[in-house]
Amino acid sequence: MNLSVSHLNRPGLSVVATLLTMILVSGCTVGPDFKKPEQKAPADWTSWRSADPALLNVPGAAAVADNQWWKRYDDPTLNVLVEKALTASPDIRTAALRFASARAQQHITSSQQTPNVNATASITRNQQSENSPSTRALKEVLPNPDELITLMTDPYNWYQGGLDFSWEIDFWGHVRRAIEASEADSAAQQAQLEFARLSIVGDVVNSYWTLRGIQQQISLAKDDERALDERLSLIRARTLSGAQDNTDLERQRSELAATRANLIELQAQEGVTTNQLLLLLNERPGALKTLLQFKPGSLQAGNLPPLQLGIPSKVASNRPDIKAAEAHLHAATARIGVAEAELYPSITIGAQIGMDTYSAGNFGEWGSRSWSVGPSLNLPIFDRGRRKATVVLRETDQQQAAVDYQKTVLRAWQEIDDALSRYSAAQQKLAEQRTRAESSAQALALIEARYNGGLTSFINVLDAQRSDIQARQALAMSQRDLKTAWAAVNRAVGNYPR
């Protein structure tokens, strides 16, 4: 049903004004109001933990957010890579464009609060048919209508111009709820942008230290290859002189071949990991070779600062994915009100004022004016339940968003627990691997001295060599693991770059 008034006298205008006043005063907003969900959190960092009690010790308690935590590694190369990723990453650029789109949509929705005003103008050339319904009436009534019909059917110009005004009264809060939903969508996309930046930094840090770990293993494997090759030459000379048989010679050759095979595998892994890092930087394969060249000592543990975790309840709410999930829940709640408002009548105020004439000469004259003003009512009567089904659909969407929010919060605490346990384990493991590497090196030196003195067999030397190689490789991996574990903690608590 659509009711409108095109012309109102003074009493009619008074009625319209009274109606508008009543609508503006008594306007309401339908649908549920959003309530920030209660977020449960542990009382301290030793609660809500699944790890062994030996891994529950967490250093640091000050509530300090470190938004440039990767700089604490004190690695200039890593700093360059992270800054490059933050500006060149396709994922971040995509998230930024989505945020910009959400802001634009928010502006579009907000514009519905204000009236629409359009200026119109037209000039048309018209000619009426001599056999139109209007001329038929003249032919039926007048005895000699030819002269009048000729006048009516002469071509003429029609000049029009003016302003059109329309405004839908937001009586039930349809527009207000739509604006609320669009603002929440914009907040969600902003959080997604923060999450993209956090993810990219974490991925760059992990890929970088993984690459440095592989390069460290390659360096160790090359050192082992040279040492084993030198020992092979010594054993070959002793074999040729008859001081020993070929058994030790073949064993040394086997050990050298195994080391070279491992070196080939490590070199292949270096290329794969480098490409993974370059992809995060939006670079082609083979780029940044000088920057990514191995630097001896780059994998040393360094002086990583203590974790500044702060209060558990505030840490989790800082995560961008939780903020995005909450914003999605807010938007879904607001859209229930948008759908409910569609169940009720809508009122639109329209007005038009302008000039209307067939002669350009009198276009500006007072007598050429035309105008209309009045409300129009749109009353939903029958749509086979479409509007009610839409309300049910929006309520279901809101329930799904609530479940997603709870799942996101639970996953956040799981990731925090995993990261803290991994970091504590990495610290303890690194200390043990250092002891192992030192002991293996000392054992190898002692056994080599005994072998050179003829006090032990070469098989013991080979065993000591394998143990030393494995210990040094494990130490390099523990150094890498500590660095990536520290990154995982910063990522889990939501320290995204700003």
Cβ neighbour number for residue 233 with a 10 Å cutoff: 11
The predicted pLDDT at position 17 comes to 55
How far is it, in rounded angstroms, from Cα 301 to Cα 482? Answer: 7
The predicted pLDDT at position 21 comes to 54
pLDDT of 55 over the 60 cut? yes
The predicted pLDDT at position 455 comes to 87
User: For residue 35, which phi and psi values (nearest 5 degrees)?
Assistant: -120, 125
Same fold, 1-26+116-169+345-379 and 31-114+172-344+386-492: no
pLDDT of 22 over the 50 cut? no
Q: What percent of the chain shows pLDDT beyond 90?
A: 40
Nearest C-alpha neighbor of 498 from the set 69, 63, 189, 76:
69
The predicted pLDDT at position 168 comes to 85
Q: State pLDDT tens for residues 186-242.
A: 999 999 999 999 999 999 999 999 999 999 999 989 988 888 888 888 888 888 888
CATH of domain 31-114+172-344+386-492: 1.20.1600.10
Indicate the pLDDT class of residue 377, thresholds 50, 70 and 90. confident
Cβ neighbour number for residue 270 with a 10 Å cutoff: 18
How far is it, in rounded angstroms, from Cα 38 to Cα 400? Answer: 17
Q: State pLDDT tens for residues 77-126.
A: 999 999 999 999 999 999 999 999 999 999 999 988 888 899 989 899 88
User: Are the C-beta atoms of 429 and 481 separated by less than 8 Å?
Assistant: yes
Concatenated DSSP letters of 135-199 = HHHHHHH-SS-HHHHHHHTS-EEEEEEEEEEEEEE-TTSHHHHHHHHHHHHHHHHHHHHHHHHHH
Q: State pLDDT tens for residues 305-314.
A: 666 666 777 7
Report domain extents, the chain.
Answer: 1-26+116-169+345-379, 31-114+172-344+386-492
User: Tokens 């109606």 appear where?
Assistant: 19
pTM equals 0.80
Which amino acid, residue 293?
Q
Superfamily designation of domain 1-26+116-169+345-379: Outer membrane efflux proteins (OEP) (2.20.200.10)
